[in-house]
Amino acid sequence: MGVPTGRVDTIVLIHGLWMTPRSWENWVDRYAARGFRVLAPAWPGMEAEVEELRADPAPIAKQRIADITDHYARIIRGLPRPPIIMGHSFGGLITQLLLDRRLGAAGVALHPAPVKGVLRLPLTTLRSAFSILHSPANRHRAVPFTADDFRYAFGNTLTREESDAAWERYAVPGAGHVMFEAAFANLNPEAATEIHKKRDDRAPLLLTAGGADHVVPPSVVVANVNLYRGSTALTGFRCNPHRSHFVGGEPGWEEEADFALEWAVEAANEFSPTVVSEAPGR
């Protein structure tokens, strides 16, 4: 299991759409028990608890991808040394945008929402996002995420009782503007999800997928990985055929968390331009 090395001692966790930092509670405890400093900041303005955001989702409606990315960039730049950055779903998209800014010692994008250039849009993805994308008016709203929505998008490997309990604990309305920005990025010449696909000086990046994921099926993640083929920077891919989109909390999450950390620590120490340059004698 990965342990802090002195040069890589901090992990920044970025939650996704329909979630808050509470979704990382298991991972925070697991990584902290191994000696890492673990930060799981909310999207800007979403620091309230799940229950409060459900009662007043106005902060969710204000979210924009550029603002979210800038928010995490400020946090990371304020750290004494580059951290491992891990993001789930839209947090995985933000992770890629941050690495594109030459931030982080290594990045792990868990079942990431796609950056600009990914053209695949499977039916399961459309079904998962239907509550938001079915109406253009939702672009400026925080759209409720029902127990049935959660069951299809996150809880499809759980029992109904388990899914409903997870929905109650973790789910908040979805940020309509964020979803529309990503869904129509390929039609926008100034899309906030654009990356420099051939950048050679970014930190190592691992992208993961799950065979049971309805929101971001493996084909979408593979298409995202393929965008980096022109870069010499380390890019890894892993697919677990049994994982759903609820990688942070479904049974077996421990194995996913351990693999992500081990990969990131090793990659950071061996290949990261922001870490290797700090090694003694370099």
pLDDT digits (tens, 9 = 90+) for 131-153: 999 999 999 999 999 999 999 99
User: Is residue 5, in this structure, part of any structural domain at all?
Assistant: no
In CATH, what number is assigned to the domain containing residue 201? Answer: 3.40.50.1820
Total tally of structural domains belonging to the chain: 1
User: Is residue 223, in this structure, part of any structural domain at all?
Assistant: yes
Token code pair at residue 133: 């994308």
User: Is residue 96, in this structure, part of any structural domain at all?
Assistant: yes
User: Is residue 128, in this structure, part of any structural domain at all?
Assistant: yes
Residues of the chain with pLDDT under 50: 278-282
Token code pair at residue 236: 């890894």
User: Is residue 4, in this structure, part of any structural domain at all?
Assistant: no
pLDDT digits (tens, 9 = 90+) for 34-76: 999 999 999 999 999 999 999 999 999 999 999 999 999 999 9
User: Is residue 230, in this structure, part of any structural domain at all?
Assistant: yes
Please state the φ and ψ torsions of residue 39, each to the nearest 5 degrees: -115, 135
User: Is residue 247, in this structure, part of any structural domain at all?
Assistant: yes
15 neighbors 24 (Cβ within 8 angstroms): yes
Sequence letter at residue 8? V
Calculate the alpha carbon distances from 14 to 80, 103, 140, 163, 233 in Å.
Answer: 19, 14, 22, 22, 22
Closest by CA position to 150, among listed 25, 248, 26, 245 = 245
Query: Could you tell me the residue range of the domain that residue 68 belongs to?
Result: 10-276
